[in-house]
Amino acid sequence: MAYNGGFDGLSQYIDETSFELISKAVLGTNLATYVDVRAGLKGNKVDIPLVDETFNIGDGSVCSWDANNTASISQVEMDIYHAKVQHEYCPQVLRDTFMAGKLAAGQFGGSESLPYEQVFAGQMVEKLANWNEKFLISGKGTSKGIQYYVSASNTLTAAELNTISGSWSAATAVDQAHTMYELLDEKVSMADDLILIVSMGDYKKLALGVTQENYYHISPDLKELFVPGTNIRVVASAGLIEQTGGKNTRILTRASNIILGTDLTGDFEEFKMWYSQDNDQMRATMKWAIGVAVKEGDLAVIANPNATNATT
């Protein structure tokens, strides 16, 4: 049996749970939880089909055939980004770290050590999920993000944009969210899947604003935050960066208006870890595909569309 740096269990765990770990990294973000996910996408560019139908209701008391309804099929283009991350680790550092973890478990009087395989893999997945969340907002390279598509289709006037561009505080966040809702196209204003995507800081300010206004009957424990008086779910995204002066990007739209594309079915996506005897290193590589598209960018409201929220 080939020597694996003393970490055979770690390599085996990652190999056996590779699909699950990749899925968590791609689909386990705050934003990905709510949007429309399309798996099995291949290649660099994908056309996502969209169907739109019109129904003309006829007189059912008459014996006739009158198929005067129409169905149209359109497409929205998605650029798939093929991402990868590669790491190398010193076996001795890993050994010392995980040995400390096992000792820490014993301090509580238990006989079980920490499941270091899960801890190690979980740390990587958490960081990669954070990157994927940022990608959904800003994209990478030629693959564009939600901010680009919504900004390109913006129909608000300069005066309307100015009303929602200010910095949020606990005292103003609720009113600012209401103003964004007022500007939303009436065709989707009563949709049951509306989401307001905000930065972590704006989420906290809105949560404090809700409690200060005594809206406890709407969000009693703030584990799920909704804009008071509406069915808009507030989603905190790591992809939105706190801007100077608080002029943060905020996006209001239907969750189903956003498409997250990935593969999760092919050989390209992998998560592997092995011992490189020539270099005396533990090495890890993870590859995955991700893309995003917006069906109708004009059915959204965006505050501060030109703020920089770059994926690094």
| Confidence band of 4 (pLDDT split at 50, 70, 90) | low
pLDDT tens, position by position, 209-255: 988 877 655 554 556 899 998 999 999 999 999 999 999 999 999 99
Q: What single string gives the DSSP state of each residue in 187-245?
A: TTTT-TTEEEEE-HHHHHHHHHHHHHTT-TTTSSSSSS-B-TTS-PEEEE-TTSPPPGG
Question: What pLDDT is recorded for position 198?
Answer: 98
> What digits encode the pLDDT tens for the residues 26-85?
998 999 999 999 999 988 999 988 877 777 777 778 887 777 777 777 889 999 999 999
Quick one: tokens of 244? 């100077």
pLDDT band of residue 2 (cuts 50, 70, 90) is: very low
| Residue-level pLDDT at 235 | 96
pLDDT value, residue 269: 82
Q: Shortest CA distance to 202 belongs to which of 233, 161, 232, 241?
A: 241
At 304 the pLDDT is 96
The CA distance from 224 to 235, in Å, is 9
Q: What is the pTM of this model?
A: 0.85
pLDDT for 105: 46
Higher pLDDT, residue 154 or 11:
154
- Alpha carbon dihedral 8, 14, 16, 20, in 10-degree steps, equals 170
pLDDT value for 284 = 86
At residue 276, the pLDDT reads: 84
What is the β-pairing status of strands 258-262 and 281-294? antiparallel
pLDDT tier, 1 (very low <50, low <70, confident <90, very high otherwise):
very low
| pLDDT tens profile 148-161 | 999 999 999 999 99
What is the spatial distance between Cα 240 and Cα 311, in angstroms, rounded to a whole number?
10
CA distance 256 to 176: 23
Selection from 296, 300, 287, 308 nearest residue 26 by Cα: 287
φ/ψ of residue 226, rounded to 5: -125, 150
pLDDT confidence of residue 103: 42
Query: pLDDT tens digits for 169-212?
Result: 999 999 999 999 999 999 999 999 999 999 999 999 999 998 88
> Once rounded to an integer, what is the mean pLDDT over residues 294-301?
95
Between CA 219 and CA 224 the distance in angstroms is: 7
Mean pLDDT of all residues in 114-120: 67
Cα 52 to the center of its chain, rounded Å: 26
pLDDT beyond 50 at 107:
no
Q: Report the range out of 15-19, 121-125, 153-157 with the highest average pLDDT.
A: 153-157
Contact 83, 312 (CB under 8 A): no
Q: Tell me, what's the pLDDT at 234?
A: 96
